[in-house]
Amino acid sequence: MIQRTLPAFVLALGLGALAGCASPTVITLNDGREIQAVDTPSYDEDSGFYEFEQLDGKRTRVNKDQIRTVKEL
């Protein structure tokens, strides 16, 4: 019995830890549009753009001057 429950417990613990790392966010632009991202966007100081992955898996870059708010869900 321990041979099955221990790996199942470790797997459930690992999946729970991975789910806790992702924090979906909503990015509101100055024109009122909202973009949903899988995780918190990263800011590149050299280019002045926020980079993030949308829910459909597409990588996107948005100029920081176009962003009004970034909120975690």
CA angle 40, 12, 55 (to 5 degrees): 30
| Annotated domain spans of the chain | 23-73
Report pLDDT digits (tens) over 11-54: 666 655 555 556 899 999 999 999 999 999 999 999 999 999 99
Secondary structure letter of residue 38 according to DSSP: S
Report pLDDT digits (tens) over 48-59: 999 999 999 999
Residue 48 CA to its chain's centroid (Å): 19
Q: Specify the pTM.
A: 0.68
Could you tell me which of 60, 56, 58 has the C-alpha nearest to residue 42?
60
Tell me if 25 sits within 8 A of 70, measured CB to CB.
yes
Candidates 2.30.30.100, 1.20.58.220, 2.40.50.320, 3.40.640.10; CATH matching 23-73: 2.30.30.100
Please give the Cα distance from 73 to 12 (Å, whole number): 23
